[in-house]
Structure 1
Amino acid sequence: MSAADSPAPRLASCSCGQLRARVSGEPVRTSVCHCLACQRRTGSVFGMQARFPRAAVAIVGNRAEYVRVGDEGGRTTFGFCPACGATVYYTGDSADTIAIPVGAFADPAFPAPTVSVYEERMHSWVRMPDEVEHTP
């Protein structure tokens, strides 16, 4: 693929636009998480995020961070805007990728999820597409 064929960089931002993430290339994984922590973080019934190689992401702007320890002991560091509070990115114990909430891109054409996790906590009325990989 030539540079002319490469997808245009995507820009994610917080609600006020002060904290931004510019990504190049396609996500390595786009997933939906139904865990209770994601429900609380998003204020919705699930979180949807896209993971990109760390080298493909540039973060610009002032940020605050919050570290959460998950059900299995892993640490996740959330980068959010200190002005409006919106999460723009997060990283796990693995230093390989950065996850960005898909809503931060404000792009209805963003690729659909390929994986759905923590489905045992999924709200009964939520339906995932059939082609999505389902994990409990």
Structure 2
Amino acid sequence: MANAQCACGALRLMLSEPPQLTALCHCFACQRRTGAPFSANAFYSIDCVEISGTSTEFIRTAETGRKVRMHFCPTCGSTVYWKADASPSWIGVAVGSFANPAFAPPAISVFEQSKHKWVQLDETVEHFQGLPVGQY
């Protein structure tokens, strides 16, 4: 069982299964959401997640026109999780919210078309210029 939480601890997730996918995303929306050059994301089956605490929802429209519902703590502002209309059976969780340096490394890196040139990733990560279609 893994636990994720916001910076102040008011918004928490308990996850009873390992992630189905861990990925880095270099899209501009993730850069703005995290304040970093990329986001580190873990994706879980929605059925294995127990959420406690209150979140504020920000709905972003993706380039595809589908909605992404970001949930952040109204007290400290940490984005902890999100749900995408494109993948209704998954919940995305910010890897940093686990505060666990031993967390599963990313399998893929997406939207590298907007990756900062100085970010270097090794060959164990599968690279995509955009979003992989039909693979994940």
* TM-score, length-scaled by structure 1: 0.92
Select the residue among 96, 100, 110 that pairs with 1:107. Answer: 100
Root mean square deviation, CA, Å: 0.7
1:24 CA drift (Å): 1.4
Write the letter of the residue equivalent to 1:54.
I
- Work out the CA distance in 1 between the residues paired with 2:39 and 2:66: 18
Matched with 1:5 is none
Q: Tell me, yes or no, if structure 1 residue 76 matches structure 2 residue 68.
A: yes
Structure 2 counterpart of 1:49, from 35, 41, 60: 41
Q: Which has the larger radius of gyration?
A: 1
Q: Which residue of 2 aligns with 1:127?
A: 120
Q: What secondary structure does 2:33 align onto?
A: helix
For structure 1, the 5+ residue unaligned runs are 1-8
Q: Secondary structure at the match of 2:96?
A: helix
Number of residue pairs matched by the alignment: 128
SS in 2 for 1:103: helix
Separation (CA, whole Å) in 2 of partners of 1:120 and 1:87: 24
Q: Aligned match of 2:31 in 36, 39, 42?
A: 39
Give the Cα separation in 2 of the matches to 1:48 and 1:66.
19
Q: Which runs of 5+ in 2 are unaligned?
A: 130-136
Corresponding letter in the other structure for 1:133: E
1:95 corresponds to: 88
**By how many angstroms is 1:26 displaced?**
1.2
- Deviation for aligned residue 1:126: 0.3
Runs of 4 or more consecutive aligned structure 1 residues displaced over 3 Å after TM superposition = none
* Match of residue 22, structure 2, among 17, 30, 34: 30
Please report how far the alpha carbon of residue 21 of structure 1 lies from its aligned counterpart in structure 2 after TM superposition: 0.7
* Percent of pairs with identical residues: 43
Indicate whether 1:14 and 2:6 are aligned: yes
CA distance in 2, matches of 1:62, 1:129: 38
Tell me how far 1:64 sits from its aligned partner. Answer: 0.6
Could you state the TM-score of these two structures normalised by the residue count of structure 2? 0.92
* 2:132 matched residue in structure 1: none
